[in-house]
């Protein structure tokens, strides 16, 4: 080793607080990089077959992510430690880094890696309410349920996920649709400040005044610009409202489709949040509809929900006044567990007939899937796109400037599941065939067409949601990335996620 290399590496070890001697400056293998990280972080680096490693891998929500085997997992607890991990990677030019917040993405490799190194951020789990109670600072390693449990007793809330165990980081960096989105927009539009570790290891704030281009880029830009370690979120004053799930049998499907069509064609109501999900459970060989209905008031008058609550027969209803944590726990309980899963999505403007046409395609696809996978689950959800930020407010990356553009749009999610790994390729194929068939149908005259926007947090690995932001926005994103990540660390080393093309 040259004297200069020795000095450089010694300086790195000193900066990382490590107390060990090293023999090389460059890790030529992933295992060498793991050893280098072990020197610096000690017990915060865990290896296969250890209790901590197995606990981390088994905690991913979807089985396809649990099946990946990183060479080691780094578990920092502070932004400074995240910075030092990034700096260490300057000595690991051949190693892939995966970044994990909550680990709720179904896309293989988006938050875990095979044979690379996973940065597990769940140790960054602080929740600090500002002294003026206008904001709350949330570590990226939290789940939304942690935040709701902290704020609900105080009569406060934030614009976060509808599912209790979804992580903070991926949800907000992809946009984020909330119970409160009809009124307050995407979750990312309610972030006042991001604390970010850049590719250089520098820790910066991104907000409307500091690094404003980065601030915008992080609102829908996923992991292309930095590692977000903390979100400062705007507090909302109320946390109790009407909500719950109303379930009806397959015989009520025509009435359900009619109700959602009329809901989308009616004047916009910022207090109504509706998720209409058509479900097939192979283990029961049964179809049903589950409507998650939310009305953002505790008023006794909930007539706005009548078009859905009046549909009969009902198999069950949990409508009630409650808080965010309770509703998010209920939504979580309805998620299929321990499954290999594929999500895919598209967006389109409502017409008087297109929901019914898409429903027929879904029934056909689901029948084919059930014939091949007897235990398959298939779900198709219709919901709304949140309105854009108001005039004068900081912007996100999405291609909307006025609520009149988003209100007519329907966001479609297809999610298909199997408990068996052997079925995963077929799940990918059938979901892709379905979305292709839907978009082909919609592009026929009279069927409304297709919006270029695809919600990133629902997109499949074969989809390209970033291109749907528009040519000018993608160009701006590339310029921002060149400024904050000139060597392409988050394109070349952090390979998971949707990259700038």
What pLDDT, in 10s, does the model give residues 206-216?
A: 999 999 999 99
The proportion of the chain whose per-residue pLDDT surpasses 70, expressed as a percent, equals 95
Please check whether residue 289 is in contact with residue 276, taking contact to mean a CB–CB distance below 8 angstroms. yes
What pLDDT, in 10s, does the model give residues 76-98?
A: 999 999 999 999 999 999 999 99
Cα angle, residue 161 at apex, residues 323 and 153 outer, rounded to 5°: 30
- Give the per-residue pLDDT at 216: 98
Tokens for 347, please give them. 């967006």
Q: At residue 21, does pLDDT exceed 60?
A: no
- Give the per-residue pLDDT at 239: 72
Burial of 172 (0-12, 13-18, 19+ CB in 10 A): buried
Distances (CA, A) of 433 to 117, 369, 437, 448: 33, 11, 6, 20
Rg (CA), the chain: 23
Three-state secondary structure call for residue 13: helix
Q: At residue 331, does pLDDT exceed 60?
A: yes
Sequence-separated (6 or more) residues with CB below 8 Å from residue 7: none
Please check whether residue 216 is in contact with residue 186, taking contact to mean a CB–CB distance below 8 angstroms. no
Backbone phi, then psi, for 112, in 5-degree steps? -150, 170
> How many other β-carbons are positioned within 10 Å of the β-carbon of residue 162?
25
Tokens for 159, please give them. 């614009």
Tokens for 447, please give them. 């069927």
Strands 135-139 and 127-129: antiparallel
Three-state secondary structure call for residue 204: strand
Write down all domains in the chain, each with its CATH number in brackets: 3-123 (3.30.465.10), 127-237 (3.30.465.10), 240-463 (3.40.462.20)
- Give the per-residue pLDDT at 501: 81
What pLDDT, in 10s, does the model give residues 107-116?
A: 999 999 999 9
Q: How confident is the model at residue 195 (pLDDT cuts 50, 70, 90)?
A: very high
Q: What is the rounded average pLDDT of the residues 414-433?
A: 98
What pLDDT, in 10s, does the model give residues 292-317?
A: 999 999 998 999 999 999 999 999 99
What pLDDT, in 10s, does the model give residues 215-254?
A: 999 999 999 999 999 999 999 987 799 999 999 999 999 9
Tokens for 110, please give them. 């988006």
218's enclosing H/E stretch is none
Tokens for 461, please give them. 């690995």
Q: At residue 282, does pLDDT exceed 50?
A: yes
Cα angle, residue 270 at apex, residues 266 and 274 outer, rounded to 5°: 70
Nearest alpha carbon to residue 219 among 179, 190, 182: 190
Backbone phi, then psi, for 296, in 5-degree steps? -80, 60
d(CA 84, CA 63): 31
- Give the per-residue pLDDT at 355: 98
Tokens for 5, please give them. 């290399």
d(CA 187, CA 209): 20
- Give the per-residue pLDDT at 294: 98
Nearest alpha carbon to residue 406 among 458, 456, 347, 448: 347
Q: For the chain, what is the mean pLDDT?
A: 94
């Amino acid at each position: 080793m040259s004297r200069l290399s020795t000095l450089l590496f010694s300086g790195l070890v000193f900066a990382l607080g490590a107390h060990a001697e090293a023999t090389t400056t460059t890790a030529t293998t992933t295992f060498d990089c793991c050893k280098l990280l072990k020197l610096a972080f000690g017990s915060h680096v865990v290896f296969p077959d250890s209790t901590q490693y197995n606990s981390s891998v088994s905690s991913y929500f979807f089985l396809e992510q649990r099946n990946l085997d990183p060479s080691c997992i780094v578990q920092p607890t502070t932004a400074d430690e995240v910075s030092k991990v990034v700096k260490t990677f300057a000595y690991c030019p051949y190693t892939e880094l995966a970044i994990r917040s909550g680990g709720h993405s179904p896309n293989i490799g988006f938050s875990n890696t095979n044979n690379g190194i996973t940065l597990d951020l769940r140790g960054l789990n602080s929740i600090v309410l500002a002294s003026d109670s206008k904001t709350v600072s949330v570590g990226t390693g939290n789940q939304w349920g942690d935040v709701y449990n902290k704020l609900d007793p105080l009569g406060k809330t934030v614009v976060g996920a509808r599912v209790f165990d979804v992580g903070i980081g991926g949800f907000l960096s992809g946009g984020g649709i909330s119970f409160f989105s009809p009124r307050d927009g995407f979750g990312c539009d309610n972030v006042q400040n991001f604390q970010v570790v850049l590719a250089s290891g520098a820790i910066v704030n991104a907000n409307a005044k500091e690094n404003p281009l980065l601030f915008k880029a992080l609102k829908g830009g996923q992991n292309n610009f930095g590692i977000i370690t903390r979100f400062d979120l705007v507090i909302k004053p109320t946390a109790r409202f009407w909500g719950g799930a109303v379930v009806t049998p397959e015989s009520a499907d025509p009435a359900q489709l009619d109700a959602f069509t009329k809901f989308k064609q009616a004047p916009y109501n910022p207090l109504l949040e509706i998720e209409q999900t058509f479900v097939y459970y192979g283990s029961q060989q049964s179809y049903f509809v589950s409507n998650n209905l939310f009305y953002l008031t505790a008023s006794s008058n909930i007539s706005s929900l009548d078009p859905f609550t009046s549909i009969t027969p009902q198999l069950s209803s949990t409508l009630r006044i409650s808080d965010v944590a309770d509703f998010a726990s209920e939504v979580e309980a309805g998620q299929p567990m321990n499954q290999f899963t594929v999500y895919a999505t598209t967006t389109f403007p409502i017409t008087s007939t297109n929901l019914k046409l898409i429903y027929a395609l879904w029934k056909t696809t689901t029948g084919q899937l059930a014939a091949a996978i007897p235990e398959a689950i298939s779900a198709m959800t219709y919901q709304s796109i949140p309105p854009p930020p108001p005039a004068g407010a900081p912007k996100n990356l999405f291609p909307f400037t006025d609520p009149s553009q988003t209100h007519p749009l329907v966001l479609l999610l297809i999610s298909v599941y199997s408990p068996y790994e052997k079925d995963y390729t077929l799940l990918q194929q059938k979901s892709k065939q379905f979305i292709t068939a839907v978009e082909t149908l919609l592009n026929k005259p009279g069927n409304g067409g297709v919006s270029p926007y695809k919600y990133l947090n629902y997109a499949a690995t074969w989809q390209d949601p970033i291109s749907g932001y528009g040519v000018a926005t993608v160009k701006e994103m590339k310029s921002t990335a060149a400024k904050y990540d000139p060597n392409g660390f988050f394109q070349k080393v952090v390979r998971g996620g949707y990259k700038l093309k």
